[in-house]
Amino acid sequence: MQFRLVIVEPHYQINIGYMARIAKNFGVNRLWIVNPKCRYNGKNAIKYSKHAHSLVENAKICGSIGEATRGFSVVGTTAIWQKAYSGMSNIYELSDFSKKFGSGKMNKMALVIGRDTTGLTSEEMSGCDAVVYIGASDSYPTLNISHALAILLYALKGNISKAAKEDFGGVYAGSSEIEMLLRLFDKFVESNGNIRKKDMVKRAFRHVVERSGPTKSEIATLLVAFGIKKNRNRKK
């Protein structure tokens, strides 16, 4: 599985440093930072990253979450799940998400860590394919951002083993097959004058598909239903 760690608008160098250090502990080799609100590679960021300073120094800086996650399934994070858009059905407690998607079903996952001050907005979460939260105490659910990252990476990275990839990689649809179906559905929605809230319908369909973890045969069946036949090994 391709994995990308995205940090949104960090305000404090110390948090960047700590998150880089934890990321390297779990084998993440690059950080993607969206609109940093401090000098992301400053003295304290380097200091607190310890031996992971190369992740800080070589971080990819992006102007938006969309730019940082393009081509990836987007997994947002929140400390307070009630903050998410009330109409969302793709919000998971971390252990449930790990069980459902920890078997290699997401070939390309971007884990998006919200601001170290206010987290992700409801609008940003509504644009994610899934949102996860850590089941901490209801009386004090907010964890230190670097501590939360350690828990998230342990659950999401640790459960996706080489054996799981070998067992499931040939059964479940890859990201390219899923994207083909989603693009086709988007075109159908855009061409249908009876559908008013087109963006909401497209987003709902994407969430259903991502949440279900479809197999290759299921995607192929849906593509045929939409009028697309897969041509294997056919050369023009």
165-193 pLDDT per residue, tens: 444 445 667 777 888 888 888 888 888 88
pTM to 2 decimal places: 0.68
133-172 b/e (C-beta count within 10 Å ≥ 16 → b): bbeeeeeeeeeebbebbbebbebbbebbeeeeeeeeeeeb
The pLDDT of residue 232: 44
List, in order of start, the domains of the chain with CATH numbers.
2-168 (3.40.1280.10), 175-225 (no CATH)
Give the integer Cα–Cα distance in Å for 25 and 48.
14
pLDDT grade for 90, boundaries at 50, 70 and 90: confident
- Mean pLDDT value of segment 202-208: 86
pLDDT at 59 over 50: yes
**Amino acid sitting at position 184:** L
- Mean pLDDT value of segment 68-81: 88
Mean of per-residue pLDDT scores for the chain: 83
Q: Percent of the chain beyond pLDDT 90?
A: 38
Long-range pairs for 183-189 at CB < 8 Å and ≥24 separation? Answer: 184/223, 184/226, 184/228, 185/226, 188/226
The pLDDT of residue 215: 79
Residue scoring higher pLDDT (173 or 204): 204
- Mean pLDDT value of segment 196-203: 89
Q: Which of 32-46, 92-106, 146-160 has the highest mean pLDDT?
A: 32-46
Edge-to-edge strand ranges of the sheet holding 2-8:
60-62, 31-34, 2-8, 108-113, 73-77, 130-133, 91-93
